[in-house]
Amino acid sequence: MTAEEVELIGGRNPVVEALRSGRQLNKIWVAEGVNKKSIGEIMKLAKEAGVVIQTAPKQKLDGMTELTHQGIVASVAAYDYAELDDLFAIAEKRQEDPFFIILDELEDPHNLGSILRTADAAGVHGIIIPKRRSVGLTGIVAKASTGAIEHVPVVRVNNLSQTVDDLKKRNVWIAGTDASNSTDYRHMDATLPLGVIIGSEGKGMSRILREKCDFLYSLPMVGHVTSLNASVAAALLMYEVLRKRQAQATS
């Protein structure tokens, strides 16, 4: 595991999820005037974990972070990135075929947070991102994920192309989205061990990764815009995989 610098997280749900998951919190600041009953679970979990809670003026919290903090800010230990083997181990523990999301140079932290949130709901075993030209795990991502960052492992790799090759050697099929010469995503075989590539907000999926895809799928569009937000496209694909896997399990 490798770690990044200390982060601040704001908001009640992110702080609760950080405490529930056993993350190391250094300190929690509560704005003066906050109803203690409304943060009873945070107070209880913090006491059990031995985390110091300090009351401070709301202006101090406003100055600590640009996040919407709801009167709660916590200093947390660095976010840990998982290893690829960790993702396979999770799939094996759940007795499921691997299902990974691969993000090709996604730069918007809100998109990454939203994808983490959907990934948790859809049963994704982990997310893979590149180290360069990509958003990492930050407080903004944590806030946007509403706590899902604590439950979905993220692997950060030096080279996505090599990682895709490694996945294929481990019998994971690779799917990507492409508007031209591709199959409607509703026809995907989602029951295979699967890695789904989501392209960046501006450029989409890179040529190198597109050429490595075993399958290319398109999202039907009948309006005037030519593409969907990355997190929306990812959500559609994740839930299609979940839907088909659940249907297979009950058939």
pLDDT tens-digit profile of 222-245?
776 667 788 999 999 999 999 999
State the chain's mean pLDDT as an integer: 88
Q: Are 86 and 126 in contact (CB under 8 A)?
A: yes
Query: What percent of the chain clears pLDDT 90, i.e. is strictly above it?
Result: 49
Q: Span 93-111, mean pLDDT?
A: 93
Q: Is the CB of residue 30 less than 8 Å from the CB of residue 72?
A: yes
Q: Rounded to an integer, what distance in angstroms lies between the CA atom of residue 119 and that of residue 117? A: 5
The verdict on pTM exceeding 0.85 is: no
pLDDT digits (tens, 9 = 90+) for 152-181: 999 999 999 999 999 999 999 999 988 776
Which residue is it, tokens 């200093």?
75
Is 230 within 8 Å of 111 (Cβ atoms)? yes
Contact (CB, 8 A) for 126 and 94: no
Residue 80's pLDDT is what?
Answer: 80
Which of 5, 2, 10 minimizes the C-alpha distance to 147?
10
> In the structure, what pLDDT confidence band is assigned to residue 5 with cuts at 50, 70 and 90?
low
pLDDT tens per residue, range 18-63: 898 888 788 899 999 888 888 999 999 998 888 889 999 989 888 8
Phi and psi based region of residue 32 (left: phi greater than 0; alpha: psi -120 to 50; beta: remaining): beta
